[in-house]
Structure 1
Amino acid sequence: MKKIGFLSFGFWHDGPGPVSSATEAYQQSLELAVGAEQIGLDGAWFRVHHFAQQIASPYPLLSAIGARTKTLEIGTGLVDLRYENPAMMAENASVADIMAGGRIQLGIGRGSPEQVIDGWQHFGYDYTEKEMENIARERGLEFLDLLRGKPFAEPNPRPMFPQKPGLLRLEPYVPKFRQRIWWGAGSQKTALWAAEHGMNLMSSTLVDHESEDPFHVQQAKQLRLYKQAWAEAGHDFEPRTLVTRSIIPIRNDKDLYHFGGRRNGEDSVGYFENYSNPTIFGRDYVGDVETLVKELKEDTAIQEADTLLLAIPNSLGVDYNLHLLEGVVKEIAPELGWK
């Protein structure tokens, strides 16, 4: 059995089209999540990017989805810690989790290259890209520590409201929310660090090109090393691992029109600016159901993970994306034993 969700970037584009404004992007994200639960998906996850026509502040959206659904996991993939204040983030995320009845799966990490140069400086953080490599991890650990609910703040001797004696913690405190925090890892080293600090593993849609093996083999190795490190660390709960794939079953002429040209995808290797290591991107899976079942059986990273996110083209609208998701959940997943 495998949990299956969708991952949306929440794009919108000015001008005519199914998603032509921020209002439509956020409202359709909510509608898509509700529809996904109805057709049997397990999760709705959203990318977070700043200075772009995409989902940015995720917490209101997560809360709204939580209020409209009952079983769906609601996640981020991922919140960019270069832009975040850990204390404010802990409050916002905990409120969203309460609104969702304990169903938030919060993915956090350093994030990917952004739309502007050193964008976090516009959020009040005067650090260089190099300094941010360590600061993002430090903020992640501070955030985890805050979620433990341990009192740490010295109380005002003349407070506005009555309070218990002793140090205070951030409120609201949600027990065990810490066990639903994920770290976005793009390398084996980062995956081991996530295991050491007790976070679930969200393996990136791209990873450092650390061998000549195909993307899925490199990613599967990352997941196995993570699980081994987790066992050695002795944490008191079972970890989860997640991978993301673009899986497009061609079932009608509209599918063929939109995606027929993307058949026979292959892994690709490239460089990001300011990244010293080459990065390998996983292939798309596009084809008829029978072909996709055969090809997906060979994807060792999907086999290794307990959760699979389906990257969706949200800019094509709610109905069409539900059609694509239903094709995977009802026609492909049963053939592979995922559901």
Structure 2
Amino acid sequence: MPPVPDTGAGPRPLRKLGFLTIGLFDEADPRAGHEDTLHLIELGERLGLDSAWLRHRHLQHGISSPVAVLAAATQRTRRIELGTAVTPLGWENPLRLAEDLATVDILSGGRLNPGVSVGPPVHWQDVKDSLYPDTGDAEDFGYDRVRRLLDLVAGRPASRFSGTEGIEVYSDRVQPHSPGLRERLWYGGGSLRSARWAGEQGMNFLTSSVVKAEGPDAGDLDFDAVQLSHIRAFRAAHPLGGAARVSQGLVVVPTDGASAAQRERYEEYARARLPRTRSPQGPARLMFAPDLVGPSEQLAERLLSLASYRAVDEVAFALPFTFAREDYEQILTDLATRLGPLLGWRPAG
């Protein structure tokens, strides 16, 4: 089913429901955490969820190589879409990444949805000597890095040479080439500029629980209004207009099937993070959405009250970082069996 055009006539029916996880693991036993992530992806498929997305975490106890993990997931699933939200391109060589993405997309049967972002690597001054010891000061961490990736994935030349040399055959484009992957590339943006740029490139747009407050009056706006302005700017710049794909990634935790101890832990997690939502934070003036925790009926009512939610028909709700496997199992089960149906969503077959 294609995306529903943005007519401004009210909420879109929820077409795609997915989840996003950091893939937390214990440094003393990293395999167990990675296996837990693969288990959640398999559970998501059994529940009929449409997509599973992995965050990208470097030098932390979260998945540092989501493309490798998703390669494993392709062999354990048959239907669920697999994405990254997002891969920061400052850590990547676009040519090598294009090869990896195409390979995993082929293995998945065309289910990969790579999400990317730009900017210098986190803690740049501390990692530059390990990451780019000779070229750090010359590296471009802007949009051109994404353009290179887009061109390479689309099959444009990567080399001036193609043909046979001895017994070796060389291609001038990335191999394998995966038709359709270019149309499934997403940009994760939190500013008006990035939203417009992603639309101009004909990409899809990931908007999360963090946006930038921009302009002298932005601090007087709430998160919902700012996020809606980004969605509208993206679609205004996109060749498909209102039909351009946008996925929203708020933290949404249904408690219908949770135990009393789980509910208390979830609510405390949201309370501890609430103060940062009351005003723009830091030099970048970041605005954070409140985490939504509670019974599915309350969550559905709250989501439908948000203009930004009503403007999309795809979501990938983010799982909190620090919970246990059984917590995530309960949350995913409630998303699929309680909250999703209240939002008009139907599980995939």
> SS at 2:84's partner residue?
strand
* CA distance in structure 1 between the aligned counterparts of 2:226 and 2:64, rounded to whole angstroms: 30
Q: Indicate if the aligned counterparts of 2:25 and 2:34 stay in contact, CA closer than 8 A.
A: no
Question: Deviation per CA, 1:34-93, whole angstroms, max 9, x where unpaired?
Answer: 011101211110110211111111221111111111111100011111111011000011
* CA distance in structure 1 between the aligned counterparts of 2:243 and 2:30, rounded to whole angstroms: 38
> SS at 2:337's partner residue?
helix
Residue in structure 2 matched with residue 161 of structure 1 by the alignment: 167
* CA distance in structure 1 between the aligned counterparts of 2:269 and 2:64, rounded to whole angstroms: 28
Which of 144, 147, 152 does residue 146 from structure 1 map onto?
152
* CA distance in structure 2 between the aligned counterparts of 1:146 and 1:337, rounded to whole angstroms: 38
* CA distance in structure 1 between the aligned counterparts of 2:128 and 2:109, rounded to whole angstroms: 31
Change (3 A) 1:292 1:141: same
Change (3 A) 1:269 1:118: farther
Which of 269, 287, 290 does residue 279 from structure 2 map onto?
269
Question: Deviation per CA, 1:7-52, whole angstroms, max 9, x where unpaired?
Answer: 11112245xxxxx632122111111100111012111101102111
Q: Indicate if the aligned counterparts of 2:270 and 2:290 stay in contact, CA closer than 8 A.
A: no
> SS at 1:309's partner residue?
strand
Shift of 1:289: 2.6
Larger relative contact order, structure 1 or 2 (CA cutoff 8 Å, min sep 6)? 2
* CA distance in structure 1 between the aligned counterparts of 2:79 and 2:162, rounded to whole angstroms: 41
1:250 corresponds to which letter in structure 2? Answer: T
> SS at 2:52's partner residue?
strand
Which of 209, 219, 223 does residue 227 from structure 2 map onto?
219
* CA distance in structure 2 between the aligned counterparts of 1:194 and 1:117, rounded to whole angstroms: 28
TM-score, length of structure 1 as denominator length:
0.86
Q: Indicate if the aligned counterparts of 1:45 and 1:76 stay in contact, CA closer than 8 A.
A: yes
Residue pairs, 1:132-281, within 5 angstroms: 135-155=141-161, 159-163=165-169, 168-210=172-214, 211=218, 212-231=220-239, 239-251=244-256, 252-262=259-269, 265=274, 267-272=277-282, 276-281=283-288
Residue in structure 2 matched with residue 12 of structure 1 by the alignment: 25
TM-score, length of structure 2 as denominator length:
0.84
Shift of 1:283: 0.6
Residue in structure 2 matched with residue 295 of structure 1 by the alignment: 302
Change (3 A) 1:94 1:216: same
Asked if residue 87 in structure 1 is aligned to residue 95 in structure 2, the reply is yes
* CA distance in structure 1 between the aligned counterparts of 2:54 and 2:260, rounded to whole angstroms: 28
Residue in structure 1 matched with residue 345 of structure 2 by the alignment: 338
Which of 63, 67, 78 does residue 59 from structure 1 map onto?
67
Residue in structure 2 matched with residue 282 of structure 1 by the alignment: 289
Shift of 1:257: 2.8
Residue pairs, 1:26-45, within 5 angstroms: 26-45=34-53
Runs of 4+ in 1 over 6 A off after TM superposition: none
Q: Indicate if the aligned counterparts of 2:118 and 2:145 stay in contact, CA closer than 8 A.
A: no
Moved more, 139-148 or 313-322: 313-322
Q: Indicate if the aligned counterparts of 1:183 and 1:194 stay in contact, CA closer than 8 A.
A: yes
> SS at 1:99's partner residue?
helix
Task: Extract unaligned runs of 5+ from structure 2.
Answer: 1-13
* CA distance in structure 2 between the aligned counterparts of 1:318 and 1:9, rounded to whole angstroms: 12
2:136 corresponds to which letter in structure 1? Answer: Y
* CA distance in structure 1 between the aligned counterparts of 2:15 and 2:49, rounded to whole angstroms: 11
Moved more, 328-337 or 262-271: 262-271
* CA distance in structure 2 between the aligned counterparts of 1:23 and 1:263, rounded to whole angstroms: 29
Shift of 1:270: 4.2
Question: Deviation per CA, 1:114-148, whole angstroms, max 9, x where unpaired?
Answer: 356453442226436xx86x533211100101112
Asked if residue 320 in structure 1 is aligned to residue 333 in structure 2, the reply is no
Q: Indicate if the aligned counterparts of 2:16 and 2:313 stay in contact, CA closer than 8 A.
A: yes
Change (3 A) 1:112 1:307: farther
Residue in structure 2 matched with residue 309 of structure 1 by the alignment: 316
Question: Deviation per CA, 1:133-176, whole angstroms, max 9, x where unpaired?
Answer: x5332111001011121335233786243548xx7212111112
* CA distance in structure 1 between the aligned counterparts of 2:202 and 2:221, rounded to whole angstroms: 28
* CA distance in structure 2 between the aligned counterparts of 1:89 and 1:293, rounded to whole angstroms: 38
* CA distance in structure 2 between the aligned counterparts of 1:150 and 1:113, rounded to whole angstroms: 27
* CA distance in structure 1 between the aligned counterparts of 2:232 and 2:162, rounded to whole angstroms: 49
* CA distance in structure 2 between the aligned counterparts of 1:298 and 1:156, rounded to whole angstroms: 56
Percent of counterpart pairs with the same letter?
27
